[in-house]
Chains A and B, each alone.
Chain A
Amino acid sequence: MNIWELIIVQPMTNILLVITMLVKNFGVAIILFTLLIKLLTIPLTAKQVKSRREMADLQNDPQYKKIMEKYKDDREKLALEQQRIYKEKGISPFSSCLPLILQMPIIFGLYQAIMRAMASTPVELLKLERIIYPFLDVNKIIPIQNRFLWMDLGQPERLYVFGIGIPVLAILVVLTSWLQTKAMETPDAGGDASVAATTNSMNLMMPLFMGYLAYQYSAGLALYFVISNLSTMLIYALMGEMNWKKLIPSKKDEVVSKKVIETTLISEDNDEEVQEKQIKSSARPSARSAAKKMRPKKMKK
């Protein structure tokens, strides 16, 4: 067993199995385990959100924009100026990445633990048997009750309606992934049309890819994806980072997005001042400002 298995996968698998033993249902255990991990990683998420806000605010700062424009042809100078501003404002550009990097092993471990515990073939069961801690009774753990609602969590999920197998969970994975990426989209792409296009295509491709995995692999994994997406959305919503407006679009939004494109097209020809005005008028609201806009509405209710 390698170090990764020993310090991440094995403990997480055993925790998942203990939860399964307690609740006597693997589906419920996956849900609880996913929520538990999400709760434990909230401090990291909060840190990430805070850094992201600071960066977003900075990018909308007129002084920062001025400097960006001023030194756009001198990369070295631009880098130096950026460093100075970061220092002045006490921002670290990597601090939003660090919590994400720290979360990665936990997320991968969680995924692998669930995959391990959903053993369906003799080889997979053998491998599971071997990573169960000696103080746990293998005979109380294996076999794992994979039945949850209409699903067999160890196998790809299909809900049979009139003999047709519908991959309900895979569809839910696509939808929740799309909702999540859409509502948590980085608030400002700097008005760059190509960046926006890449983001849009990623926002579409990632949910499809996740759905493909959910369709191919065991239902337990798909269940984890759905719960993970929903809990992430909830956590971000509680932190005021969900831009629900993106999911409930209005005509105003469509006009705004058209303006973004127009701004990008004309920005190169206009002088600094004009450009600044246009950016101000067309920039999509940051998550923070969107959240602020939403708050009074809630209070009115």
Chain B
Amino acid sequence: MKTKYLKILLLAIISLFLLVGCAGGPLAQSTPGLNANDTHVFLSAVNKVYKIDLENGMEVWRYPADNTRMVTYAPVMFQDEEFIFGDMFNKLHKLNIDNPLQKSWESTDAKGWYQAKVAESDGIVIAPNTDRNIYAFNSNDGSLLWKHEDNFAFISEPLIIGQTVIISSQNHKILFLDLKTGNEKDKPLDMQGAVMAAPYYLEETGYIYVGSLGNEFIAIDAKSHKIEWRYDGSIEKLSGIWAKPIYLQGQLIFNDDNGNIVSVDPYSGKENWVMLEQGKMLAGLAAVNENSFIVAAEDGSIKLFDIDRKPLLQFNIEKATIYTTPLVTEKLILIAPVGAEYTLYAYPIETTGMPQWTFKPTK
């Protein structure tokens, strides 16, 4: 009798050790994170962050270089000679750009995943987390300054304007928090659906633009936090909006997940033009130069349009599914698909559809 109970107890202890010791990490389907400075692109994909030379696509380093367990999809944020990013092991890292082994700090305060790019202002790092908190850390030493709790996971990049943190909430709201204290600066703004897209600020108009899953795209006055206009154009029912808009030559252009692309006047919200159903897309649009923008659809098709909707080029990445918004640098268009032969494709700005280089992590 006693032996049997001992066996059960032993089994429980062994399983605890096995589970804690051998597990590879959280499993979730997500999309590669991209960010670049003048010389390098930083790719967050699965279990590493890669620093890649923009000139030739060669890997400079990877972090972690060894088999240390990590899962990350959040794009890195640059701060001088360092960069900050969070992972799905609930850690936030601040590392040196040239040598990631030089760690400034690491925070383990959060209990959930970091999925979004963090924001920084006035020496304060704002990091949304899926444990329903927004965290603020001292940028110098990583100490926790404050946290603000809500009812749902935070998964989109925060925006900081002056002393106000503006953040999208899945709880059908936009929050306005004080940068220094984390207290609400203003009453949250009610939206018609969960807000997944990060807010976008245009200094020229003084408006913040954001869409939700509730068939809406709105402009909010950055000072009064009141809605200035709501899209009311020819598309009767917008689909879910997951990405930030872009601003090109006086036009604000956004897309929904059914692939409808809409250009509006940023001051009034009056519709300039629409392009219907360009393919299912989670990714946002990216301005290539002053006159054109790129659209990456889920099915791997990439289209280039000029500001008047004229198609300039269309090509395809074989077997690719694209969820990440393309990143445009001075000379390159960077696309990080999933399921394709390569993890990263770099096309010249004057692209013909042939990549300048591709990147696939070596084992």
Contact = CB atoms under 8 A, between A and B. Distances in A.
A142 B25 contact: no
Interface in A137-173: 138-139, 142-143, 145-147, 152, 154-156, 158, 160, 166-167, 170-171
A267 B328 CA distance: 77
A137 to B, nearest CB: 9
B12 A171 contact: yes
A152 B112 contact: yes
Contacts of A126: 240, 242, 257, 282, 323
Contacts, number: 123
Interface in B42-71: none
Interface in B337-353: none
A152 B29 contact: no
B196 interface: yes
Contacts of B73: 121
A249 B242 CA distance: 58
A121 B155 contact: yes
Contact of B192 (A139, A143, A158, A247): A139
B1 A212 contact: no
B15 A174 contact: yes
B194 A122 contact: no
Nearest to A124: B29
Contacts of A167: 16, 19-20
B151 to A, nearest CB: 7
Contacts of B112: 152, 155
Interface of B is mostly: loop
B213 A139 contact: yes
A78 interface: no
Contact of B130 (A120, A208, A249): A120
Given A123-B29, A126-B282, A249-B1, A160 B111 contact: yes
Interface in A233-277: 247-251
A143 B173 CA distance: 12
B151 A145 contact: yes
A120 B31 contact: no
B4 interface: yes
B1 A121 contact: no
A143 B170 contact: yes
A142 B170 contact: yes
Given A138-B213, A167-B19, A120 B192 contact: no
B113 A123 contact: no
A15 interface: no
A247 B1 CA distance: 9
Interface string A202-217: 0010011001100111
Interface in B26-42: 26-31
A121 B257 contact: no
Contacts of B240: 126, 129, 138
A212 B19 contact: yes
A272 to B, nearest CB: 35
Contacts of A91: none
Contacts of A154: 130, 153
Candidate in B25, B152, B170 with the most chain A CB atoms within 10 angstroms: B152
B278 to A, nearest CB: 16
A216 B24 contact: yes
Contact of B1 (A122, A145, A171, A248): A248
A127 B73 CA distance: 18
Contact of B31 (A122, A129, A251): A122
Interface in B292-339: 323
A129 B179 CA distance: 33
A211 B31 contact: no
Candidate in A129, A167, A251 with the most chain B CB atoms within 10 angstroms: A129
B19 A170 contact: yes
Given A129-B213, A139-B194, A155-B26, A208 B282 contact: no
A159 to B, nearest CB: 11
Contacts of B193: 138-139, 142
Interface string B140-167: 0000000000011101000000000000
21 contacts: A121-B30, A122-B196, A124-B28, A126-B257, A139-B192, A139-B193, A142-B193, A146-B152, A152-B130, A152-B132, A152-B153, A156-B26, A166-B16, A167-B20, A170-B19, A171-B12, A171-B19, A175-B8, A175-B12, A215-B23, A216-B24
Given A215-B23, A216-B24, 17 more contacts: A120-B153, A121-B29, A121-B30, A122-B282, A124-B29, A139-B192, A146-B153, A160-B111, A174-B12, A175-B8, A204-B11, A211-B15, A212-B18, A216-B23, A216-B25, A249-B3, A249-B4
Interface of A: 120-126, 129, 138-139, 142-143, 145-147, 152, 154-156, 158, 160, 166-167, 170-171, 174-175, 178, 204, 207-208, 211-212, 215-217, 247-251
